[in-house]
Amino acid sequence: MAIKKISGCIGCGECVLSCPTDVLRIGDNGKAEICWPEECQLCHLCRMYCPVDAITIDPEKSIPVIISWG
Amino acid sequence: MSSEMESTRRQFLAGAIGIAALGSLSLSGTAQGEAEARENHPQIDPDALSTKEHATDVLVIGGGMAGFFAAVKAADQGAKVILTAKGRLGASGQTPWARDIFAYYPAHEEMSLKDWIKAINIASHRTSNPKFTRQLANHSLARVNDLKEWGFFDSSLYSRCFHHQLKKRKVETCERMMITHLIKERGRVIGAGGFTLDDGIIHFFSAKTVVLATGAGAFKPAGLPVCDLTSDGAMMAWRIGARITGKEWNDTTTGLLNAPAATWQRWRKDLARKPQVCGTHVEATGDLGLNYEVWKEGAILPGLPDANKEQEVKQFPRGPAVHPATGSEPAETKPGQEPKVHHAALSTPVFAQGLPSGGAGAGLAPHNSEGLAPIDLNGQSTIPGLYAAGDALGSCVTGAMELQQGASLSAAAVQGAIAGAAAARVALRQETRPAISPDQKITIRKEILAPLKRNRGFSPRWVTQTLQGIIIPNFILYIKKEKMLEAALAYVEELRDNHQPLLIARNIHELRLAHETANMILNAEMKLRASILRRESRCTHYRVDYPRSNDRDWDCWINIFQTNDGTMGLEIQSFDEEPAT
Amino acid sequence: MPQTPPELTTRDFFLRAAAVFAGFPVLFMLIKGVFSGRNAYLEIFSLITITAWCLVPGQFYWFPGNRFLPLHLRSWTLARYHMVIGTLLVLLLCSHPFLLLLPKLFEYGISPQEAFFTMISTPHAGVISGIISWLLLATLGGTAWFRKLLPLRYHVWRQLHGILAFLVLICGLHHVLFLGRHITPLITVIFILFALAAAGMMVRRWFDIIPHAKPGRLPPSEGNTDRLKKQGHQPEKKEAENEF
Ligand SMILES: Cc1cc2nc3c(=O)[nH]c(=O)nc-3n(C[C@H](O)[C@H](O)[C@H](O)COP(=O)(O)OP(=O)(O)OC[C@H]3O[C@@H](n4cnc5c(N)ncnc54)[C@H](O)[C@@H]3O)c2cc1C
Ligand code: SF4
Ligand code: SF4
């Protein structure tokens, strides 16, 4: 399911800023939360900007994808 | 949070039902009637959102390579500059993925400048604009040297490098801010309006000139990391009267059939490396061979060579010709002519990883082939004060095809720098900065917040998925025929007339989706109308009912503008004709 | 069951104790299948760091003067273990923020320096307690290694050592529970229990509420233990665990 897990987050907010499709927010506990995984485009930018490698990403989208043929 | 997740899931279910219905393209309406029309329970109070105002000489919209250079060079001219981006500077749009940047080294190139420009013009079936091609060659080295000096080539993440340069020049950057409106008064652009994604504050910028560097746009496809780009810039500009060109062309990048959204897996090797410079190498890629083949024979390709047999992959049957479009062999430079055009085999890396899927970048066009129609080499649009650069500008550097590796990133840098400098010069000459009238602000605020205020309607996610189901199939977007295009247009018009006005949002995230969805619907209409108009096949536009290229009637670009009654007007601009202003 | 104190050599005792302290959490982690997705280096790194942390409460148990321990354990060997493990722990735990950034040297993403700066400049409670623990731990290690150089009498130093260790335990626990990558409710409970046990040990020692064992008894010599072994008097595992 798209961006899968955030563990070991220190709440620096880099990922929230770097996500082009606005999937993440800093939650009440001061850590990054996956709020809208449907919009995740599996681009790995959040992971690359995370200073502590807290993010894991799956190769599948969380919603059915529409492609030109199947 | 948990209730939020809950409702998102419910909403997604509604989306899934919509898709199921679309699978057979039978939108009966009854099945999902209930799911579609939903009550809206906003999680925030739209009336509590405050408004902020900024004033500047040059407003740059977009934080990719083009926006970055526009801001740098405008600031270097001495203008006050504000840069806004929907995402992070250097980490949104397509710029974060580009790893090859083209530079023309006059001394070392094996191809002379003239030959290179000619090769591109021929290979692109004359759809390229040689003036912009030349401009790219002339300026690319200087921009690459700038980037070298600034440490751009040391990291695969560009944000810090970009930020550092802008900070040095005291450019104010507003990240995570979606611009939704360009504001025009007495024929001139005077600013823009939008909202921030974190707190929903409405921002107005009054500016003497505006550089639009909002990149290209697509239909939030699976397969390319471009889901944040929905042609916002071009659509905003069209709404205030700019001309938009090149909507009939298509990017034909493929993904993986078994994991269509796994962009990282597909491009991992590229994405994990540092950027590098490349020289002239004209190669025709991104044609419609595979799309045609699949349309004719079916999706699962029997006897597809397995991953390791690269040799066989190269000999894979490719449909009628490299360009089914032309009905003949692709434009090859004839013997005696210097320019060399290579023809890429179907991109082997994709095949090496498994069966290819289509529509990876559905809605994208070859870089620089679509966008605001320029009236001069500065990237000036048909609206005074409004400039565009990079993917947002229909500069046709390599025409309606991808022909030169690294040219699009380089073009974004070159055009951004030129547009930024030009915009700054004009802004500095202009004494007064017209203020945005209070009435305009009220209207825009209302329009921005409308989806939050509707108490029932359609979720942007559902409308987007419905739109994707209409437009992304191979037989609509790529292998075109009049009847299907008209049918799809009817669907899109339905979305435009009866769904877009009822888009709802419960939070700022969905507010953004609502505005993006509206832009995608408009973009879909443009793509369909332009495709219907071009009754020939050329480059990345293929019409089953007009499978040959027709140089006599269609040696032209198609521009789209807004007519006096607000509908879409189309005009053609011959390749050798100066643009209409 | 009769409480026959198991006869163990220091090494046996130590291995078992270590297995209990470090083995549990790692086992739970394995069961929960946390090792997925990230690259091998980071997983191994995590495993080592967690093991190190799990051994921290152990240090409160197998320090040489602990009268809670069976008295036949040879205190000199125990002191050695305490020191070796302690040194390892300090080195590992103090270097873990840097080891975490090591892969960034080989990627072309953000540089380790940038990542480090972002890390320490984040005002998250877990980060702050982490920094404090780091400083405390470094002091703890430093004052232990260079005890001889310090102008402190042994028992003053020992008190200082104890207090520092106690603070490391508290701050570290906060850091681990707030930032730990593999923290699950179960692990939280285990860590808290371990920490409580360790703290308990400490408190008991401070207030000297451990009933004094008869000091006259001498630890059995090597020979004695060997004889016991030969007679097949193997302590049962369960009994060994009862210890804790
Ligand atoms: C996977 C991939 C690989 C590529 N590889 C290469 C390559 O190797 N070489 C090459 O030359 N090209 C490559 N390209 C193409 C290249 O990246 C683009 O042509 C180029 O980056 C365009 O730059 P730009 O600044 O014009 O637009 P973009 O980089 O797309 O930037 C658009 C900016 O506008 C902002 N924006 C959009 N809408 C709004 C709005 N409404 N309000 C505010 N801001 C907004 C976005 O946030 C973003 O910052 C690649 C593209 C992809 C997708
Ligand atoms: S993978 Fe990309 S789209 Fe998904 S959360 Fe990370 S940055 Fe956002
Ligand atoms: S970048 Fe990493 S550490 Fe920072 S907030 Fe995001 S997940 Fe947490």
In C88-107, the residues whose Cβ lies within 8 Å of chain B are 107
Residue C166 lies in a domain: yes
What's the DSSP call for residue B144? Answer: H
Domain boundaries, chain A: 3-57
Rounded Cα distance, B565 and B463, in Å: 26
Among A12, A42, A48, the strongest candidate for a mutation testing the C interface, having the largest count of C CBs within 10 A, is: A12
- Quick: pLDDT tens for B521-540: 999 999 999 999 999 988 88
Residue C4 lies in a domain: no
Structure token digits, residue B379: 């990237």
CB B391 within 8 A of CB B94: yes
Inter-CA distances, A65 with A36, B23, B224, B510, Å: 16, 12, 12, 19
Confidence of residue C30 (pLDDT cuts 50, 70, 90): low
Q: How many residues does chain A have?
A: 70
User: Using H for helix, E for strand and C for coil, what is the string for B413-468?
Assistant: HHHHHHHHHHHHHHHHHCCCCCCCCHHHHHHHHHHHHHHHHCCEEECHHHHHHHHH
Confidence of residue B29 (pLDDT cuts 50, 70, 90): very low
Could you please report the per-residue DSSP string of B386-420?
EEE-GGGB---SSTTSEEETTHHHHHHHHHHHHHH
Percentage of chain B beyond pLDDT 70 is 84
Distance from CA of C38 to the nearest CA of B (A): 14
Instruction: Please state, rounded to an integer, the average pLDDT across all residues of chain B.
Output: 85
Residue C231 lies in a domain: no
Rounded Cα distance, C203 and C105, in Å: 44
Structure token digits, residue C31: 């069961």
Global confidence as pTM: 0.87
CB B248 within 8 A of CB B530: yes
Whether pLDDT at B17 is above 60: no
Nearest Cα residue to atom 6 of ligand 2: A46
Q: What's residue B292's pLDDT? A: 83
Residues 6+ apart with CB under 8 A from B45: none
CB B520 within 8 A of CB B363: yes
Rounded Cα distance, B524 and B488, in Å: 9
- Quick: pLDDT tens for B385-395: 999 999 999 99
B157 touches chain C (CB under 8 A): yes
Best probe residue, ligand 3, of A5, A6, A23 (max atoms within 8 Å of C-beta) = A6
- Quick: pLDDT tens for B412-436: 999 999 999 999 999 999 999 999 9
> Which residue do the tokens 């997705």 mark?
C37
Residue C119 lies in a domain: yes
Inter-CA distances, C134 with B418, B436, C52, C172, Å: 51, 55, 14, 8
Q: What's residue C32's pLDDT? A: 59
Inter-CA distances, B378 with B211, B374, B417, Å: 11, 8, 9
What's the DSSP call for residue B496? Answer: I
Q: Return the bridge partners of A39, or none.
A: none
Tell me if A42 and B262 make a contact (CB, 8 A cut-off).
Answer: yes
- Quick: pLDDT tens for C54-100: 888 888 877 776 666 666 666 777 788 888 989 999 999 999 999 99
Centre a 10 Å sphere on the Cβ of residue B311 and count the other Cβ atoms it contains. Answer: 8
Question: CB under 6 Å to ligand 1: residues?
Answer: B 61-67, 84-87, 92-95, 97-101, 178-179, 194, 213-215, 224, 226, 228-229, 232-233, 267, 367, 390-392, 406-410, 412
Residue C145 lies in a domain: yes
CB B165 within 8 A of CB B66: no
Q: Which helix (H) or strand (E) holds C145?
A: helix C125-145
Strands B402-404 and B282-285: antiparallel
- Taking CB atoms and an 8 Å cutoff, what residues of chain B touch C107? 156, 272
- The domain total for chain C is 1
Q: For domain A3-57, give the fold.
A: Alpha-Beta Plaits (3.30.70)
Q: Return the bridge partners of A3, or none.
A: A57
Residue C223 lies in a domain: no
Q: What's residue B336's pLDDT? A: 40
Task: State in Å: Cα C33 to ligand 1 middle.
Answer: 38
Rounded Cα distance, C226 and C222, in Å: 6
The identity of residue B42, as a single letter, is P
Q: Looking at residues B101-115, what average pLDDT do you find?
A: 86
Nearest Cα residue to atom 3 of ligand 2: A40
CB B173 within 8 A of CB B59: no
- Quick: pLDDT tens for B555-565: 999 999 999 99
B263 touches chain A (CB under 8 A): yes
Domains of chain B as residue ranges with CATH: 52-253+360-429 (3.50.50.60)
Q: What's residue B109's pLDDT? A: 73
Which residue range(s) make up the domain with C126?
A: 10-211+238-243
- Residue B61's closest CA among B182, B167, B218? B182
